[in-house]
A and B are shown apart, each in its own frame.
Chain A
Amino acid sequence: MQINIILAGVGGQGILTIAAVIDHAALQSGLTVRQAEVHGMSQRGGAVQSHLRISDREIFSDLIAEGTANLILSVEPLEALRYLPFLAPDGRIVTATDSFINMEGYPTMEQILDELHRTNHPVLVNAADLAREAGSIRTSNMVMLGAGAPFIGIAAETLEASIEKLFQAKGADITAMNIRAFRIGQALSQLQATAT
């Protein structure tokens, strides 16, 4: 088994928290992990991505080769498209639809949706609304992790256990809220999968 995931977003949106949960869950599942991330200048509001690779055998490259990503999990819709050359022919895009506009020439949402729909059954998530439903907009990440969960190759319970582990220092309420967010995202994703 080998899963290649590209996590995408804008510096400051916290994609590394998503990565940390998946990393932890993969290690708990006895799998090998490699995860490349972006530090430095791009973190100041620029485009950021993380290449995350999980396998049951040795992984050599920290970077994912073009055309081999099983999943692009993005917390921003335009950012999901930036890494399209990496997507495998049967790979999936799971993206939040909340746009983050901090530059000129940002395309219309219609244009972005058109492009997303050209890919293999994209899962589109109104993450901010769902996060508020879970209790706080700050749980958007975990909504997106939940939405991506069916494509990560790790049991949902293992991912939940890792969320608990990583958030436990912040208290029981915040942990419960993030679990709730994860489940809301997961439910939406499953609903969209059965609809298509």
Chain B
Amino acid sequence: MKQLLLGAEAIALGALDAGISGVYAYPGTPSTEITEYIQKNKGDREQPVRSAWSANEKTAYEAALGMSYAGKRSLVCMKHVGLNVAADAFINSAITGVNGGLVVAVADDPSMHSSQNEQDSRVYGKFAMVPVVEPASQQELYDAVRYAFDLSESLRLPVLLRLTTRLAHSRAGVEEAATRPQNPLNAPYAPERFVLMPHNARRQYNNLLGMQPQLEELAEQSWLNRLVPGTGSIGVLAFGIAFNYVMEVRQAFGLDCPVLKIGHYPLPRKKIEALFNSCDTILVAEEGYPVYEELLRGYFGNTHIKGRLDGTLPRAGELNADSVALTLGLTKKEVMPVPAIMVNRPPELCKGCGHRDLYEALNTVMSSHEQHHVFSDIGCYTLGALAPYNAIHTCVDMGASITMAKGAADAGLRPAVAVIGDSTFTHSGMTGLLDAINDRSPLTVIIADNDTTAMTGGQNSSANGSRLLEICRGLGVEEAHLKTIIPLKSHLAENIAVLGEEIAWEGVSVVIAQRECIETAARKKRNPAAKA
């Protein structure tokens, strides 16, 4: 019987069945469930599968490349902005190439359900000049993972598997294929490929350029690129999950337009040419940026192409069957409006969360300063930006709290305060703190240590508790200005005193607010074996 799996889980099962030896990842919505599924389900496999969380996406990617170097298959997973962090490794791994299959699964978040932008990872695939697969259903995700590993091993290139939130977080039936064993250890000496000094890099880069026609030919033959034949003067070029919306409309309204489904890049030129030759107007439906619409339209514009760039489809946000229906000439039907009494219900910090007590203390301290900027970061504590706390003033990218506070301090801002979580600190905060210490930039870093990566559902952090203290000491934070507080109501007066003193001090200070996330604490209570 088919199993009902989230798209993210379908990738995970596909990777386990395709014989991976390890998965490397940092949690990030909507990609987290890939690794979580492997962690929960690898136990029934004959051979061990390595699956603990990495400190960040760059360390994850490089470790995955190392596993591939040693001949084994590795999967590396991240959200779209995580690929910014891993981009250096990703782009250069296309130059070295790989040994064992290396698939990087990247989950984009159009409509920004849980993200700060909706960047399209297919651009990175094009940038690195590697094959990209973009399945449209959970079953296709499952099958495409094995296909991507095979491509990766035959081409000796990393393969990017791109999906978006809707597919990652939607369930459908998935049929499992036969499992296959892992690769044996096989690490050939190949410094001519892997030592990217200019003389090697130039040759390798030329090889990559030379492979491009072959990559296009593979896409031409790919099962992920196929034509749904039809009649009429309007044809649709449907990329990734956009195919589903087009087919939904086609089925619901009895349309017969030809649809070319694209799920494997670079573009299959001949297939696209055939569609263009048979239709007067082409609707380009892409979930994400109009990456290929722009390319096909050309600099001076092709008026036969409709899509996101000419306003036929909305320029931003997820697509859906409704937006696609309008573009295929169907009129908007009358529906009931959302009543005028409706109000938004934004997310909030949980009742009883330690971050609430931290912000209460911090707000009291900051209210006594004329300048009360607080630079923050990405995690549950970002919700401190909302009422009733309105406590933070920035949230840009992982680790930016410390470095932005440092820059503001260098500019003369007093006080300069950063709030960052334990997991975000180990992801990208430590190096910024080292900069501040080396530069003697007066700032106070508050590490909100809740012992977990909470926003994504409670994954283990790379360091917390006493290890955070040791890291700060090692980086050079003075013992006298390395403090620990417990963010609880009963400690409010004491916490205000400690924060007040350190924020007033003209130097680098770190205050670690230590209290376990109430969600993970409750989960441990329910299931004591859940976390080692």
> A-side interface residues toward B, CB under 8 Å?
10-12, 23-24, 27, 32-47, 59-63, 65-67, 78-79, 81-82, 84-87, 102-107, 111-112, 115, 118-119
A67/B113 in contact, CB under 8 A: no
Query: Which chain B residues in 76-121 approach chain A with CB under 8 Å?
Result: 113-114
**Contacts A44-B383, A65-B322, A115-B339; A38 near B170 (Cβ below 8 A):** no
User: Which of B60-68, B208-216, B341-349, B432-440 forms part of the interface with chain A?
Assistant: B341-349
User: Which of B18-26, B244-252, B410-418 forms part of the interface with chain A?
Assistant: B244-252
Residues in A whose Cβ lies below 8 Å from that of B348: 44-46, 102
Please give 6 more A-B residue pairs, beta carbons under 8 A apart, in addition to A43-B347, A61-B321, A62-B166: A27-B4, A33-B172, A37-B169, A39-B30, A39-B457, A111-B341
Residues in A whose Cβ lies below 8 Å from that of B467: none
A119/B321 in contact, CB under 8 A: no
B171/A35 in contact, CB under 8 A: yes
Residues in A whose Cβ lies below 8 Å from that of B29: 39-41
B335/A67 in contact, CB under 8 A: yes
A-B contact pairs, 16 of them (CB 8 A): A33-B171, A35-B4, A35-B170, A36-B170, A39-B32, A40-B29, A60-B245, A60-B248, A62-B241, A63-B321, A65-B252, A65-B321, A85-B336, A87-B335, A102-B345, A118-B336
**Contacts A61-B244, A115-B341; A45 near B347 (Cβ below 8 A):** yes
B320/A63 in contact, CB under 8 A: yes
A34/B170 in contact, CB under 8 A: yes
Residues in B whose Cβ lies below 8 Å from that of A35: 4, 170-172
A85/B170 in contact, CB under 8 A: no
Residues in A whose Cβ lies below 8 Å from that of B6: 37
Nearest residue in B to A34 (C-beta to C-beta)? B172
Asked if B531 is at the interface (CB within 8 A of a chain A CB), the reply is no
A65/B325 in contact, CB under 8 A: yes
Considering the complex of A and B, which 4 residue pairs feature the smallest CB-CB distances, nearest first? Answer: A40-B114, A40-B29, A46-B347, A61-B248
The count of A-to-B residue pairs whose CB atoms sit within 8 angstroms is 147
> How long is the Cα–Cα vector from A111 to B342 in the complex, in angstroms?
10
Nearest residue in A to B245 (C-beta to C-beta)? A61
Partner of A66, one of B113, B335, B343: B335
B343/A42 in contact, CB under 8 A: no
User: How far apart are B34's CB and chain A's nearest CB, in angstroms?
Assistant: 12
User: How far apart are A174's CB and chain B's nearest CB, in angstroms?
Assistant: 13
B169/A36 in contact, CB under 8 A: yes
**Contact residues of B: prevailing secondary structure:** loop
**Contacts A42-B347, A44-B380, A60-B245; A112 near B341 (Cβ below 8 A):** yes
B320/A65 in contact, CB under 8 A: yes
Q: Which of B2, B30, B32, B171 has the most CB of A within 10 A?
A: B171
B320/A61 in contact, CB under 8 A: yes
A38/B113 in contact, CB under 8 A: yes
User: How far apart are A20's CB and chain B's nearest CB, in angstroms?
Assistant: 9
A81/B339 in contact, CB under 8 A: yes
User: How far apart are B236's CB and chain A's nearest CB, in angstroms?
Assistant: 13
> How long is the Cα–Cα vector from A152 to B313 in the complex, in angstroms?
33
> How long is the Cα–Cα vector from A20 to B299 in the complex, in angstroms?
49
> How long is the Cα–Cα vector from A86 to B337 in the complex, in angstroms?
9
Asked if B173 is at the interface (CB within 8 A of a chain A CB), the reply is yes
> How long is the Cα–Cα vector from A67 to B332 in the complex, in angstroms?
10
> How long is the Cα–Cα vector from A194 to B167 in the complex, in angstroms?
40
B170/A40 in contact, CB under 8 A: no
B338/A27 in contact, CB under 8 A: no
> How long is the Cα–Cα vector from A43 to B345 in the complex, in angstroms?
11
Residues in A whose Cβ lies below 8 Å from that of B338: 81-82, 84-85
> How long is the Cα–Cα vector from A177 to B408 in the complex, in angstroms?
58
> How long is the Cα–Cα vector from A62 to B334 in the complex, in angstroms?
22
B347/A44 in contact, CB under 8 A: yes
Residues in A whose Cβ lies below 8 Å from that of B113: 38, 40-42
B169/A46 in contact, CB under 8 A: no
Q: Which of A37, A44, A105, A112 has the most CB of B within 10 A?
A: A44
> How long is the Cα–Cα vector from A55 to B377 in the complex, in angstroms?
43
A41/B245 in contact, CB under 8 A: no
User: How far apart are A135's CB and chain B's nearest CB, in angstroms?
Assistant: 19
B346/A103 in contact, CB under 8 A: yes
Residues in A whose Cβ lies below 8 Å from that of B337: 84-85
Residues in B whose Cβ lies below 8 Å from that of A106: 343
> How long is the Cα–Cα vector from A85 to B322 in the complex, in angstroms?
11
Asked if B333 is at the interface (CB within 8 A of a chain A CB), the reply is yes
Residues in A whose Cβ lies below 8 Å from that of B248: 60-61, 65
**Contacts A44-B349, A47-B345; A33 near B4 (Cβ below 8 A):** yes
